[in-house]
Amino acid sequence: MFADNQERPRRRGILDARHLAADVQLRRHARPSPLDSCPQGSSGRRILSRCFLFRNFCYNPFGKPPRASLRRPAADGRKRHLAAASQTIEQQIRAAFDGLTRAERQLCNHIMHNYPVAALGSITALAKGAEVSTPTVVRLAQKLGYKGYPDFQTSIRAEVEERLISPLAKHDRWAGGAPDTHILNRFADAVVGNLQATLGQIDHADFDAIAGLLADRDRKVFAMGGRITHAMADYFTTHMKVIRQGVTLISDMSNAWPPALIDMVPGDILIAFDIRRYENNVLQLVEIAADQGAEVVLITDQWVSPAAARARYRLSAHIEVPSAWDSTVAIQVLVETLLAAVQTLTWPETQARMRRLEELYARSRFFRRSK
């Protein structure tokens, strides 16, 4: 399943989200409920039930591999995952994938195609589902830096819970381990760390491809976000409208979608923002847009929105800070950098458009003028 993309050359072994989307559509109608694979009363079933509440059990297709090397895990899987600099399961698999055997790669594909359901059951069930041996499961866990399958499974449970963490629980966790430094220093350190981690894993070729799509004036651009990220979509469209025409902000209210979607044709672009606790309306709109042939660009967090299954491109930002809420600073940097890149690609046309816009502002006396 780690097939090369024939249209956009990718590093060997990278799963393309468009290929996965078609496979997911088939699997949705061919398999029993994921809850059936977890025993009644088990911790895996309880966690998965919470996933269903936010539709976070959906498939998590791979994006580009991070440039950071695979970290040695701590002794405890939960502590390992909650550490600020830790990698997600996807990133760990990405980093180790080239050194895996054929059977281990087959197992990785099965885990990520059915994440997190596949790894919440017994080792026997996982091996059977992936059509590999149980020793292969153990070897993969050890190659990823875990003591064994139970340790690997603990980390997966922690990652699932991390995706669904509430602001109250997040505050309690940070407050319990906060250092003695001033909140300004703690927060700034976390934000700087998020920026470094985000920029370190962004694939430049993908970023340039996204900028190229947005610079294509033959394509209309649409943007939308969730309860928190709608402000990011608004900021993006406000500036993009200065750069080019054909830009629309889609409301987060579904009753306002049809007038926007009726004008969306194959090749148009949807910029979707979605961070934990991933929202159903974002996923729904992404699915509709993808079905209409739109090129979906998803801007999400390090744990990845379920909407990634239908996205052509994905930019993941690190968002965790010492607060009850997550930080959107790294997302803001990605947005502003994209705007700068598109402006550079289209500067002659953008310059003429901005001059005309300034004339209109002057006639309307919108801004104060110095005497």
| 3-state SS record for 226-294 | CCCCHHHHHHHHHHHHHHCCCEEECCCCHHHHHHHHCCCCCCCEEEEEECCCCCHHHHHHHHHHHHCCC
CATH code of domain 17-164: 1.10.10.10
Q: What is the pLDDT of residues 60-89, one digit of tens each?
A: 334 443 333 333 334 444 444 333 336 788
Q: Which is nearest to 297 in space by CA: 281, 274, 278?
A: 274
25 pLDDT more than 70: no
9 pLDDT more than 60: no
Q: Residue 172: which pLDDT band, with cuts at 50, 70 and 90?
A: low
pLDDT for position 80: 42
**Is there a contact between 297 and 269 (Cβ–Cβ < 8 Å)?**
yes
Residue ranges covered by each domain of the chain: 17-164, 194-364
Q: Whole-number mean pLDDT of the chain? A: 79
Q: What is the pLDDT of residues 131-163, one digit of tens each?
A: 999 999 999 999 999 999 999 999 888 887 777
Q: Residue 315: which pLDDT band, with cuts at 50, 70 and 90?
A: very high
Task: Show the DSSP H helices in 55-96 as ranges.
Answer: 77-82, 89-96
| Residue type at 143 in one-letter notation | K
Q: Residue 331: which pLDDT band, with cuts at 50, 70 and 90?
A: very high
17 pLDDT more than 50: no
How far apart, in whole angstroms, are the C-alpha atoms of residue 7 and residue 272?
23
Strand ordering across the sheet containing 221-224: 247-249, 221-224, 269-274, 295-301, 313-317
pLDDT for position 151: 92
| Residue type at 115 in one-letter notation | Y
Of 103 and 160, more confident:
103
Task: Please state whether beta strands 247-249 and 221-224 pair in parallel, antiparallel, or not at all (unpaired).
Answer: parallel
pLDDT for position 81: 38
Q: Which of 39-53, 201-215, 312-326 has the lowest mean pLDDT?
A: 39-53
Q: Which is nearest to 346 in space by CA: 213, 215, 211, 208?
A: 215
Q: Which is nearest to 46 in space by CA: 55, 61, 35?
A: 35
Of 93 and 210, more confident:
210
* Domains 17-164 and 194-364 in one fold: no
368 pLDDT more than 90: no
**Is there a contact between 271 and 299 (Cβ–Cβ < 8 Å)?**
yes
Bridge partners (DSSP) listed for residue 315: 299
**Is there a contact between 87 and 95 (Cβ–Cβ < 8 Å)?**
yes
10 pLDDT more than 50: no
State the CATH architecture for 194-364: 3-Layer(aba) Sandwich (3.40)
3 pLDDT more than 50: no
Mean predicted confidence (pLDDT) in 161-170: 65
pLDDT for position 125: 92
Of 192 and 1, more confident:
192
Q: What is the pLDDT of residues 229-283, one digit of tens each?
A: 999 999 999 999 999 999 999 998 888 999 999 999 999 999 999 998 899 999 9
Q: What are phi and psi of 298, to 5 degrees?
A: -105, 130
Cα-based distances in Å from 193 to 175, 318, 319, 337: 19, 8, 10, 18
Mean predicted confidence (pLDDT) in 357-363: 92
